[in-house]
Amino acid sequence: MTATTQRFAGKTVMITGAAHGIGAATARRFLAEGACVAAIDREEFGEDFADRPAGRWFSTAGDCTEMETLLEFHSRTVALFGPIDILFNNVGQSGRERAAPFHESIEEVWRFVLEVSLLTAMRMSRLVAPAMRERGGRIINMSSDAAFVGDAGLADYAAAKMGVVGFTRALARELAPHGVTVNAVAPGAIRTRAHDRLTPSVIERIKATTPAGFIAEPEDVAGIVAFLASEEARYVTGQTLLIDGGRWMT
């Protein structure tokens, strides 16, 4: 979907894990709607961002599980664009090729999954919260419908992503009196590079268990993130919005 408004003109947005997939689509969405966008990812930003407006775009490569990297990312963004108005804590992942049934899983993988999928969101939120308490803002966290469905083989990931839900609710209560909303999005099957590695049979099984019958695009999530970041969602806080074609209904 193409954005046609400039509702984020003058706003500063930070996004973690933004070189590909949902993070990249969201970065493009905010840029299209006039925001200054700062993005970080462990990988370099490719040709998709070659034509981004230089005056409103800052990207850097770094490991989001390292606090020093996050501190530098935050300080450079504030120096370039001013205080943060919108934070999208997008970075996170499952154990991927190291994922296993819980009785075969190892603690090293649990710790990695919790670190990248939960603690990064807590650390980044801690960096922006003091200034947001003074001037308002928006924080959007990345959860997953795996937290609600409880997919087999993803116990660590489901635990981390449900942790994001609890963190979102608690932080929303703390910051609501200061004009800050905190919400989460919980995507289901989204066409990203991770999905590109799945076999056709797995893809068909996912479609069969999704009432909508198809796999969404990253832009479908980006539009919801933009809504939660906008003034249109000023009365929405502490919520987790599932974007999964009806796989989990509440």
What residues are annotated to the active site? 157
By the 10 Å C-beta count (0-12 exposed, 13-18 middle, 19+ buried), 146 is classed as buried
- Give φ, ψ of 20 to 5 degrees: -145, 170
Strands 137-142 and 86-89: parallel
SS3 state of residue 85: coil
Token reading at 189: 């099957």
The closest alpha carbon to 144, from 116, 95, 184, belongs to 184
Q: What angle do CA 120, 122, 128 make, to 5 degrees?
A: 105
Structure-token pair, residue 24: 């990249």
Residue type, 69: T
Beta bridge partners of 37: 13, 57
Residue 78 phi/psi, 5-degree rounding, is -65, -40
8 Å CB contact between 140 and 228: yes
Q: What distance lies between CA 148 and its chain's CA centroid?
A: 17
Q: Is 93 exposed, middle or buried (0-12, 13-18, 19+ CB in 10 A)?
A: middle
Q: Are 113 and 163 within 8 A, CB to CB? A: no
